[in-house]
């Protein structure tokens, strides 16, 4: 049975991301499983098309390849193709696509512009791999706890490639290329250069990779602490919380950080941005204002469930947030962000503050005084339950 993980492999990461190859996958695969290729299509708008619903598919793709001037080009995921329609698409050039055909088309494999994969046999028709050449891909996948972390790592490689491309546009003989690659093991530099060359369609002389030691680290990397483990613990805890965290992180950057102080990867890559903030802005821990914004789920508008609230509490503790601060953060969640079936009682923080309305009733009115005491005890008991 097909699954979303069938295509999250080192081979497909190499083909789709590093080599920028077009794919032909056969026989039929459900779109929900094909959509997992989104993890590898960094730098593209992934557009899925159902072939039987389009009369002029070839003309549409030809028009897109000749007139797409967007900074983010399109990559087409086209499914429900038959053999005849595939033959038409194989004649096209300058398009980026992943094609799914309902029948066996292995006999059409010719050259390596389109890589053919027999899903039923789990076999590539016109390319072979060995484990050694997939070492970097294996490392990227195995060290990523979920797809968000994997995409972050690939986005960081894309940002590095952009820096290299811009540098070479200014000076094709630049000796600064090793500076941009300095955060990666040297044995993987060629893979990043392969992606840069394939994505930007440029030739990069290998002599430019020679590191003479003068550009070993960029100005922003040399004094940085590494908070990658902390970042990955946040991202891997809960998918919905992670999505909100990344968006809140970028919002914080736009409101509190001068962009001229950031390098390109820190502007767009959440891990690099998080390291920058923890090194410069949050030396003693994540800002309480940021935590308050994060927990409100304003960007994704996701309604927190019981399990999400528990994950949030555990995550904040793992970040060494004091229990009293965690209580304040949880108490201040907008009740509209809590799922309707949630068993958590949202504690009104004002009920614990001193105000005229919060004064205990006179003991002379014993029944009212007793109800007031029991109400406070219920709230205290609930807090103890949450933080025991």
Please indicate whether residue 288 or residue 386 has the higher confidence score (pLDDT): 288
363-383 pLDDT, tens digit per residue, is 777 778 777 777 777 666 655
- pLDDT of 27 higher than 90: yes
CA distance 276 to 270: 10
Q: Can you give the residue ranges of every domain in the chain?
A: 4-135, 143-209, 231-346, 356-387
- Mention every residue, 6+ apart, whose C-beta is less than 8 A from residue 387: 313, 323, 326, 327
Please state the separation of Cα 205 from the chain's center in Å. 31
Cβ(26)–Cβ(105) below 8 Å: yes
Provide the pLDDT for residue 298: 87
CA distance 177 to 179: 5
> What does the H/E/C string look like for 146-180?
CHHHHHHHHHHHHHHHHHHHHHHHHCCCCCCHHHH
Torsion of CA 239, 242, 243, 245, to 10 degrees: 160
Q: What is the CA radius of gyration of the chain?
A: 27
Residue indicated by tokens 């590539």: 124
Across the range 287-297, mean pLDDT stands at: 90
CA distance 77 to 60: 14
Across the range 296-305, mean pLDDT stands at: 86
CA distance 361 to 367: 9
Across the range 107-124, mean pLDDT stands at: 92
- Mention every residue, 6+ apart, whose C-beta is less than 8 A from residue 23: 12, 15, 16, 97, 98, 99, 114, 115, 116, 117
Closest residue by Cα to residue 37 from 8, 10, 61, 11:
8
- pLDDT of 181 higher than 70: yes
State the distance between the two ends of the chain, measured CA to CA, in whole angstroms. 44
Cβ(175)–Cβ(215) below 8 Å: yes
CA distance 136 to 221: 22
Round the average pLDDT of the chain to a whole number and report it.
Answer: 81
Cβ(330)–Cβ(309) below 8 Å: yes
Tokens of 86: 């595939």
Provide the pLDDT for residue 272: 82
- Return the CATH number of the domain spanning residue range 4-135: 3.40.50
Cross-strand pairs, 98? 23, 77
Cross-strand pairs, 78? 49, 99
Please state the separation of Cα 194 from the chain's center in Å. 22
Please indicate whether residue 350 or residue 24 has the higher confidence score (pLDDT): 24
190-224 pLDDT, tens digit per residue, is 999 999 999 999 988 877 777 555 443 344 444 45
Please indicate whether residue 382 or residue 239 has the higher confidence score (pLDDT): 239
């Amino acid at each position: 049975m097909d699954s979303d993980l069938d295509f999250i492999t080192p081979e497909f990461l190499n083909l789709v991301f590093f080599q920028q190859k077009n794919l032909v996958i056969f026989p039929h695969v459900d779109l929900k499983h094909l959509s997992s290729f989104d993890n590898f299509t960094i730098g593209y708008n992934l557009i899925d098309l159902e072939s039987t619903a389009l009369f002029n598919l070839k003309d549409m793709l030809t028009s897109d390849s000749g007139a797409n001037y967007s900074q983010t080009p399109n990559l087409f995921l086209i499914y429900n193709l038959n053999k005849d329609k595939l033959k038409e698409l194989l004649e096209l050039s300058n398009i980026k696509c992943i094609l799914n055909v309902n029948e066996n088309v292995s006999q059409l494999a010719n050259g390596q512009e389109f890589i053919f994969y027999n899903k039923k046999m789990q076999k590539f028709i016109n390319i072979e791999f060995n484990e050694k050449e997939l070492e970097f891909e294996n490392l990227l996948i195995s060290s990523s706890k979920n797809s968000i972390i994997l995409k972050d790592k690939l986005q960081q490689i894309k940002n590095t490639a952009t820096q290299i491309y811009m540098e070479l546009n200014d000076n094709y003989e630049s000796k600064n290329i090793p500076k941009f690659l300095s955060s990666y093991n040297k044995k993987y530099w060629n893979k990043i250069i392969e992606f840069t060359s394939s994505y930007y369609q440029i030739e990069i002389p290998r002599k430019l990779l020679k590191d003479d030691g003068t550009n070993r680290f960029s100005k922003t990397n040399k004094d940085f602490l590494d908070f990658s483990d902390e970042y990955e613990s946040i991202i891997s805890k809960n998918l919905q919380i992670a999505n909100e965290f990344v968006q809140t992180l970028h919002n914080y950057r736009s409101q509190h950080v001068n962009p001229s102080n950031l390098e390109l990867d820190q502007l767009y890559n959440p891990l690099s941005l998080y390291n920058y903030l923890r090194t410069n802005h949050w030396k003693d821990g994540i800002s309480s204002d940021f935590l308050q914004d994060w927990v409100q789920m304003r960007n994704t508008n996701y309604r927190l469930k019981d399990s999400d609230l528990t994950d949030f509490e555990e995550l904040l503790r793992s970040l060494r947030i004091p229990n009293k601060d965690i209580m304040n953060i949880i108490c201040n969640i907008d009740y509209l962000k809590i799922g309707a079936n949630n068993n958590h009682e949202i504690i009104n923080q004002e009920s614990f503050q001193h105000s005229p309305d919060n004064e205990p009733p006179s003991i002379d009115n014993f029944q009212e005084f007793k109800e007031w005491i029991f109400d406070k005890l219920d709230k205290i008991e609930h807090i103890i339950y949450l933080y025991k």
